[in-house]
Structure 1
Amino acid sequence: MTPVQFKQHKLLLKSAGYRDAPALTLDSHNGHMPHGREISLSWLSGTILTGVTGVLLMASALYVSFDGRGTFATPYSALSTNIVEGPTSSETDSRLVTKKSDRVRPVAATRSDREIIEASIRETVDGVDRIRRQPFVRINATLATSATALSSDIPNYDPIALLRKNQPIALAEDARTINTDIYGAEVEGEVTVKEASLNIDQAPPTAIDDQLAADYVRTTVEGAFSGTDSVALAYAPENVPGLRELSVASDGFTSVAQNVSVVPKAPASANETARTERIISVRQTSPIGDVLAKNGFTEQMVSAIERTMRSVNPSTEVREGFRMRILFGLDAGTETQIPYLLSLYNGDERHLVTVARTDQGRYVLGAPPPGIELPEEDTEEINVANLPSLYRSIYETGRKLDLKDKTIERIVAMFAYDLDLTKRISPGDQIQMLQTEPDADGNKELLYIGLQLAGTERHMYRFQTEDGVVDFFDENGQTGKKFLMRRPLEGGGRLRSNYGYRIHPIFKTRKLHTGVDLAARTGTPVYAGGDGVVKRAQWVSGYGRFVELNHANGYQTAYAHMNRIASGMQPGTRVRQGQIIGYVGSTGYSTGPHLHYEIKINGRTVDPLSVRLPRDKSLPNRYRAKFDQTMAQIDDLMAREPSAPINVADAGN
C-alpha cells in the first residue's frame, strides 16, 4: 500500500468513528467508577449478580402467590365461566365456585334418536305377491350447535363441487331395488298372496239386512243413541260451571299454562358465552372412548383421558344410565370447540371422576365442578356468538350419527341451491332421515331427508324412475337444483355487501347497490351461474373486467371487478353452469378483491341471495301418481311408532 492510499484509508476510518487509542486495561482506580478504556471486574460482577438476584426474587414471589402451582389457568377461570350456584359436593374446590349471574344462558334440549321402524311390504316375485316385514332406520336429531373436532377436517364449502355431487344416480340392472310399497295390514313372518276369480254362484249369504246396516251407521257415525236424550258433543258447551281459563288463580291455587318458552333476561356478553356445557346420558354400556369420540374428542384426547382415569379406576367402561358433563371452549384462533373438562356421574348422580385439560394440552385429574341438579333430558348450553354454519352443522351431526361422508355430501348438495349453507344455524333446528336396513356390506340407502330451520321446512324424497335413475324431489316433484347459482365462485366467498341502498365506499354517496359483493382471494375462479350465452366480456367503466350472460326466460347474470376474463369468453359463446368464466380481482371502482354478482329478470335487478329462482328439473308428469304414492308411504313410515330404539353409546347433540 502506497503512502497516499494509507492516508486515504486512515481518513475514511476516522470519518467512520474509528481512531487510534490505547488498548483496554484492567487497571482502574480502586473504589471509583472506571473511565475511558478501564474495565473494573468488581463493577461487572456486581451488575450481573444484581440482575440474577432480582429475577430469583420475582420468581419466588410469583411461586408463593400462586400456592406453588406450576399451571395457573384452570378451565373455569381461563374461560371466564359463570356457573349457576347449586348444591355442591364436599370435595368441590371452592376456588372454582363463582358468583351467580343474572344473565341466563340459552339451554336447549338435544335429541339424537335412531329408531327401527318395521312395516309390512308388498313385493311381486315371479308373478306372485309376497308380504313380509321389513325394517327401516329413522333418525330424528337436533342440528349440532357447536363445531368440534368431529367436523374439523370437512371439505371447504364449494358450490361447484356440490353441484357435481347432486347429479341423478343411474342404477345398474342388478342393483338392489328399494321397496316402500306398504301393505295395509300388518303380518307376521312372510305371507304369499294369490289372486283368483270369484265364482258368482258361490257368493256368500247376506249377513244383515239394509235396516240393520242403516241403524248401525246412525248409532256410530251420527252419534244418535236410541232411548236417551243425551247428546255427544265434540266441544265444550257454553255456560258450564267448572270451566275456567288457564293461568288463573282460584281457591288459593294457580293454574300455569305449559309449553312456555323462557328467554334470557339480557343478551350474554362475549366472556359469558366463551364456553358451553353439554350434559349427556350413556344409553348403552360401552368403553368411554366410544362415547367421547361422538362428542368432539380426538383419538389423542381419548387416549390421554383413559390413561388418567386408570389411575383411579382400572376400568374405563361406562355403564348404561351414567351421566356426563362436558365443558367446551374455543380453540384459539379457530371456530372449533375443544373439551376442557369432563365429569362422570353414576346412575344416582354421584360424582365419580373429573378430568381437566391443562395449559399444555394434557388431561389430569381435577376437582369436581360445582354441583347442579342434572336434568332428565340431555341438554347443551348454546354459545349464540359461535353457532356453526349450516354446512358444518350438517357434517357435525351426520358424523355423530355414524353417517358416511358420501351420504352427508349428498344431503348437503340437495339443499345447496335452496339454502344459504354459509349462514349460521338457529338453536332448535332439526334434521330427519329415513334409511333402509343395512345390506350385506353395511350400506344404507337414504330414502328421505327433512330439515326444519328457523320455522321453515324442507323435504326431499327418493324416487326411482322406470329407467333405473334415482333422484330426490320435494313435495312438488322438483329437485333441489336451481336454474341459477346464488354464489358462483369457488368456496362461495364471504358476503361483504348486500343488495340494496348503501353509502358507496368510494364516492360516499347513497345509491342502490345492484348486486352482492362476495369477497375472495385474487385469482379465485368465477363460475357461470347457469347455462347461457355470453352477452358482453370486456372492460366496463367502474365495473372493471366484466362478463354478462343471457339465460332463458329473460334472466341475466353479471360478474364484475374480475382480475382476468377466461379465454374464449366472447359475445355469442355458449357456457354451461359451473364453467369458469373469469377470476376474482379488484379492477374498476373497487376497494379490494371481490366478485360483484348481479341477477336481472327482464332487465330489472333483484337480490341474488333471496330471489325465488326456478328449478332446473322437475319430475315428468307420467310419474306423478307413483311419486305421490311413494311420498305418502314414506310419510307413513316417519309417523309410525318405533318398533325398537337403536341403543347407541352417544347421546345429546
Structure 2
Amino acid sequence: MNATQRRRHAAMLQATGYEDGPALTVQSTDGEIPQGRELSFSWLSGTVLTGLTSVLLMGAALYVSFQGQDTFSTAYAALNLAVPRVEQPLATDLTSKTSRLRPVAATRSDREIIEAATRQIVDGREIIRNQPFVRINATLATTATSLSADVPAYDPVAILNKTQPLTSAALDIATDVYGTDVDGEVVVNHSAMPDDFVPTRTISDQGAADFVRAMVGGPFTIDGGGPALAYAALAPTLRDLAASQADAVAGVAENVTVVPKTTLASSETLGRTERFLTVREIGPLSDTLVRNGFTPAQVGMIERTLANLMPAAGLPAGIRLRILYGPHSSGAASLVPYRMSIYRPEGAPGERHIATVALSDNGQYVVGLQPDWVDFPAEDVEQINVGNLPSIYRSIWETGRKHDLSDATIERIIAMFAYDIDMTKRIAAGDTIEILETGDTGEGAAEELLYVGLTLSGTTRQLYRFTTDDGAVDFYDPNGETGKRFLNRRPLEGGGTLRSRFGYRIHPIFKTRRLHTGVDLAARTGTPIYASGDGVISYYKWQSGYGNKVEIQHVNGYETAYGHMSRFADGLSVGSRVRQGQVVGYVGSTGQSTGPHLHFEIKINGNLVDPLSVKLPKDNVLAAQYRDEFDQTIAQINDLMARDPAPVSVAQSN
C-alpha cells in the first residue's frame, strides 16, 4: 500500500468515527481521557469467580438430578410437600433391569414369654415350679442405626476371653413334668425304701399267663393288612424299601463352603431404606422408636412434636409404623431416621393416617405431610438397599440391642460363632437368629442364655447350653462340639481387611500368575499379630520373599506361618511355646510386599490349605459319658422353642 492509499484509508476510518489513541493501560492517570482506558483487576476477578460459581451450582444441580436422591436438603425430600394419592404396589419386580428397584424382605421380630415347669436342687431339696423363658425369633437387622453406633471394634482375638466356659450353676429343666401346670412350688423329698417292704400283689401269675396266651393266639391287623401273630415280624413292603432308599444318606461332605448367590450393591455409598412394622402391644411409643434406631434425644423431639396430634384415647394396638432411613450428614456408617409415619390398623375407625414427622435441615423433627400411599403388607417388611447391609458382627449387635439383650450376652453370642464365621462379611437378606433365655422370676437372678440358632445364607448353626459334673457351663452344637476352634483364622488385632485370598492370582510385583499360598490381611504397621493356636515356634527369622517370618508347629500335623512382619515379639525364639492369642510379632511390609499386611498360611501334614475355608477341628468336644444327658437337654430346649407363648397382660398407655 502506497502513501496515497494509506491517507485515503485513514480518511475513511476517521469518517466512520475511528481515531488513533494510546494503548490500554492499568494506570488510571495515563492517556488523554482518564478513567476510560485502564484495566480493572477487581472487575476481571469478579467475572471469573462468577463464572466458576455458576458452573459449580449447575454441576451440583445435575449431580442431584442424576443421583435420584439428595444429600444436601433433607427437609424437602422428607416433608414431601406434594402428596399424590395414588395406589403404589410395594412388591418389587427383581427381574426388571434397573438399579432403582430395591428388594423387599419380610422381617420378623418376635420376643415372647413362654412358661415351663423346671426342677432345681436347692439345699438338697428337689423343687418343681413354673419358670418363665424369653424366646426371641428375629430377622437379623439389615440396617445399622444408632442402636449399634457405639459397639466395640471387632477384634477376633478378644473373643477368646468370651468363649471360656462359665462357672455359674446351670438351670435344670425337668423333663418329667413337661406339660404339667404347677401352682406355686412343689417340693420333692427322696427317702430310702425299707428293706422289709413288700408291695401288694395286684396281678396273679395265672392271670398274667392267661393274658399272654390270649395275646399270642389272637390275630390282629397292621395298616389294614391281613392277620398276623403278635410275635411275628412282618417283612418290609416294597413301599417301605423305596422310602428307606430315598432317605438314605449317601455320604458326608467335608470342607465344603456354602456360597450364597452374589448380589451386587446398587451403590458404593449408603442409601435409603424403608421399614414397615406393626406395634402389636399397647405401650409407650418411645420404646418402639428406641428399638428401631431413634436416639433418646430424637424420641424426645418427636414426642414434643406429636403432643397435639395423638388421639385423645391413645394409640390403639396394632398401629403400623413406616420409617424412612437415610445416610447421616456427617458420613457416619449408621443410618438415621429421616421420616416416621403412624397409621391406624386396617378397619379401625377414623382416618388411617395419624401423623408424620420428618427430619429438617437443622436436625429437628417437624410435622410433615403423609407420604405417597402404599398398600401395607400383612407382615412386617423392609425395603433393602444392598449397599446398607451391615456386617454380621454389626447386625448381631443391632438385633440384640433391639431385643433388650445385655451387651455381655451379645458378646457371648458373637464369640460362640466367630471361629466358624467371618464376622466382617455382610449379612444376606433373610438371615435370622433364634435365642432362648431364662426369664425374670422376680428374685433378681440374671437372665441365663440357653440356646442360640444362627441362620446365614440358608445354613443354620445351633449351640445348646450344657453343664458337666464339674460345674463348667459351655455351649455345644448337636454333635457335642463347642464353637471354639482349634485355630483362629484371622490372628491379628481387629481381624484386618482381606486384600487377597488363597489361590492363583497375578503377582502384584512380578505381574505373573502364581499360587498365593495364604491370605493377606491388611492392617496398619505395628498392629499386633497373635498366635493362631497353641504350639511351638519352629521358624523365627528373615526369609526371602516373606521378610520377617514366624512359623508355629501345632498338634496333629497343623502348622501356621506369619509373614511380612515389621518386627518380632520380644522374648521369643525357636522352641518357644506359645498359647492361642499370644503376640508373636507386628504387622509390617518387609520382604516382597506392596504395603503393610499380614500374610497368613495354614498347612495340614505339609499341604497348604485355604485358611478361611478349611474345616478346622473343634477345640473342645463333650465327653461320651454326657451324650445321653445332652440329647435330653437338646430335646428340652427344642420343646421350649416350639411351645406357644404365655398370655401376657400389657398395661395401656397413652
Shorter chain as normaliser: what TM range? Answer: 0.7 to 0.9
Q: For 1:124 and 1:78, locate their aligned partners in 2 and report how far apart those are by CA, in whole Å.
A: 59
Aligned to 1:120: 117
* 1-structure distance, mates of 2:539, 2:99: 60
Letter in 2 for 1:369: P
Distance, in Å, in 2 between the alignment partners of 1:616 and 1:536 is 24
Q: 1:594 to 1:403 in 2, by over 3 A?
A: same
- Trace 1:451-470 onto structure 2 (pairs within 5 A): 451-470=454-473
Partner of residue 527, structure 2 = 524
Q: CA deviation at 1:457?
A: 1.3
Superimposed CA distance per residue, residues 398-456 of structure 1 (whole angstroms, 9 cap, x where no aligned partner)? 00000000000000010111111111111111111111122533620001111111121
Name which of 187, 190, 211 aligns with 2:181: 187
Give yes or no for the alignment of 1:201 onto 2:200. yes
2:140 aligns with 143
Uncovered stretches (5+) of structure 1, i.e. residues with no partner:
1-23, 62-70, 89-99, 227-236, 238-263
Residue 335 of structure 2 corresponds to 337
> CA 1:204 to 1:117, structure 2 compared with 1: closer, same or farther past 3 Å?
farther
Give the counterpart of 1:536 among 536, 539, 548: 539
Distance 1:204 1:54 in 2: 111
8 Å Cα contact 1:116-1:646 kept in structure 2: no
1:305 correspondence with 2:302: yes
The equivalent of 2:394 in structure 1 is 392
Deviations 1:560-616 (A, max 9, x none): 111111112211111111111111111111111110000011111100000011111
Matches of residues 116-265 of structure 1 in structure 2 within 5 Å? 116-123=113-120, 129-171=126-168, 177-184=170-177, 186-189=180-183, 190-191=185-186, 199-203=198-202, 209=211, 218=220, 222-223=223-224
Distance 2:616 2:462 in 1: 18
Residue in 2 aligned with 1:431? Answer: 433
Cα distance change, pair 177–55 in 1 and its aligned pair in 2 (3 A): closer
Query: 2:588 corresponds to which residue?
Result: 585
Q: Cα deviations across residues 129-171 of structure 1 (Å, max 9, x unaligned)?
A: 5533222221111111111111111000001111111111223
Aligned residues: 564
Deviations 1:27-59 (A, max 9, x none): 7889632789xx9xxx8999999999999999x
Would the alpha carbon gap of residues 340 and 466 (structure 1) be closer, same or farther in structure 2, given more than 3 Å must change?
same
Aligned to 1:87: 87
Structure 2 Cα separation of the partners of residues 57 and 611 of structure 1: 58
Partner of 1:9: none
Which residue of structure 2 aligns with residue 280 of structure 1?
A: 277
Q: Pick from 602, 618, 624: which aligns with 1:599?
A: 602
Please say if 1:488 is aligned against 2:479.
no
Alignment deviations for residues 92-130 of structure 1 (CA, whole Å, 9 cap, x no partner) = xxxxxxxx9896421111111122222233445666655
Structure 1 residues 129 and 582, CA, compared in 2 at 3 Å: closer, same or farther?
Answer: closer
Residue by residue over 1:311-369, the C-alpha shift from the partner in whole angstroms, topping out at 9 and shown as x without a partner, is 54597964321111001112253332111111111124711211112233222222211
- Residue 316 of structure 2 is matched in structure 1 by 319
Matches of 1:344 and 1:448, distance apart in 2: 35
Q: Is the 8 A contact 1:79 1:271 kept in 2?
A: no
Contact 1:430 1:451 in 2 (8 A): yes
Query: What is the CA–CA distance in structure 1 between the aligned matches of 2:616 and 2:456, rounded to whole Å?
Result: 19
Partner in structure 2 of residue 419 of structure 1: 421
Taking the aligned partners of 1:614 and 1:498, their CA distance within structure 2 comes to 22
Following TM superposition, by how much is the alpha carbon of 1:281 offset from its aligned partner in structure 2, in angstroms?
Answer: 1.0
Q: Distance in 1 between matches of 2:387 and 2:30?
A: 68
* Displacement of 1:297: 0.8
Partner deviation per Cα, 1:187-223 (whole Å, 9 max, x = no partner):
332445567687443426879945886899946x644
1:289/1:643 Cα in 2 relative to 1: closer, same or farther (>3 Å)? closer
Report what 2:34 is aligned to: 32
Q: Which moved more, 1:465-474 or 1:192-201?
A: 192-201
Report the equivalent of 1:73: 73
Determine the structure 2 residue equivalent to 1:500.
503
How much has 1:394 moved relative to structure 2?
A: 0.6
Contact 2:105 2:384 survives alignment (8 Å)? yes
Inter-partner Cα distance in structure 2 for 1:56 and 1:600: 61
Pairwise CA RMSD: 4.4
Distance 2:286 2:317 in 1: 14
Runs (5+) with no aligned partner, structure 2:
1-25, 59-70, 89-96, 228-238, 240-260
Contact 2:28 2:35 in 1 (8 A): no
- TM-score, normalised to structure 2, is 0.76
Cα 1:308–1:159 change in 2 (3 A) is same
Q: Given the two structures, how large is their TM-score scaled by the length of structure 1?
A: 0.76
Q: Deviations over 1:257-288 (max 9, x none)?
A: xxxxxxx9x97843998211101111222332
1:643 to 641, 646, 649: 646
Report the AA paired with residue 277 of structure 1: E
Identity of aligned residues (%): 53
Establish whether residue 293 from structure 1 lines up as the match of residue 290 from structure 2. yes
Partner of 1:367: 369
Contact 1:432–1:451 at 8 Å: present in 2 too? yes
